[in-house]
Amino acid sequence: MRHRVYGSLLGRNKDERDRLFKSLISSLFLHSTIETSDKKAKAIKGLIDKIINLAKNKNTQRLLSSYLNNKELQERLIKEIVPKLGNRTSGYTSVVRLGRRLGDQTMMVKMSLIGVEEMKPVKEESRVKEKTETPVKKETKIKQKAKKVVKKSVRTANKKVSTSRKGAKKS
């Protein structure tokens, strides 16, 4: 029986689920629209309402750091997204069904923030440092010696072949 069981577990433990929700929420605020499964969209819909309501109230804005780790994302939420939402108290997202995913037939949806669709996504800088191209190293002495040995062996093999031809009888 499912007495007093609330929410969908999504096949994950609590920590994995929390990280998934934080990731989906931050990408929604970053890009203002995401494509995800129907179950995941339904699971984060209430959290998004809660976070936006926290951002609207100046006394509770400090609590945003528990949901959004990125300071720039918090500032964007407070300065850009919240003013565009107007006087709404809930229902900040819209969900549009896209159809079933081919691999596992899961219903896919496009979730977007209402009134913020025309916002440009923030260019996210990569955390990984770009590799600087190292100049191609000159061949090591060992490789050069190996090439010389191979050339010498080819020359000696050619000489042996050519000497055997000279000794052959002409018919």
Does residue 164 surpass a pLDDT of 60?
no
Tokens of 27: 């990408």
Tokens of 14: 């609590």
The residue type at 117: E
Question: What is the per-residue pLDDT for 153?
Answer: 65
Question: What is the per-residue pLDDT for 124?
Answer: 61
Question: Taking a C-beta distance cutoff of 8 angstroms, is the pair 22, 69 a contact?
Answer: yes
Q: What is the mean pLDDT of residues 77-103?
A: 93
The residue type at 84: K
Domains of the chain, first to last: 14-113 (3.90.1030.10)
Does residue 152 surpass a pLDDT of 90?
no
Give, as one character, the DSSP assignment of residue 107.
E
Provide, rounded to the nearest whole percent, the portion of the chain with pLDDT above 90. Answer: 56
Question: Taking a C-beta distance cutoff of 8 angstroms, is the pair 65, 23 a contact?
Answer: no
CA distance 125 to 142: 42
pLDDT one-digit tens code per residue, 100-150: 999 999 999 999 999 887 777 767 665 566 666 655 555 566 766 676 666
The residue type at 8: S
Does residue 36 surpass a pLDDT of 90?
yes
Does residue 15 surpass a pLDDT of 60?
yes
pLDDT one-digit tens code per residue, 55-79: 999 899 889 999 999 999 999 999 9
Does residue 170 surpass a pLDDT of 60?
no
Give, as one character, the DSSP assignment of residue 65.
G
Higher pLDDT among residues 162 and 53, named by residue: 53
Q: How much helix, strand and coil, in percent to the nearest 5, is found in the chain?
A: 50, 10, 35
Average pLDDT, the chain: 83
Q: Output the CA–CA distances (angstroms, integers) from residue 157 to 112, 152, 160, in the order listed.
A: 73, 9, 5
Question: What is the per-residue pLDDT for 119?
Answer: 74
CA distance 155 to 127: 54
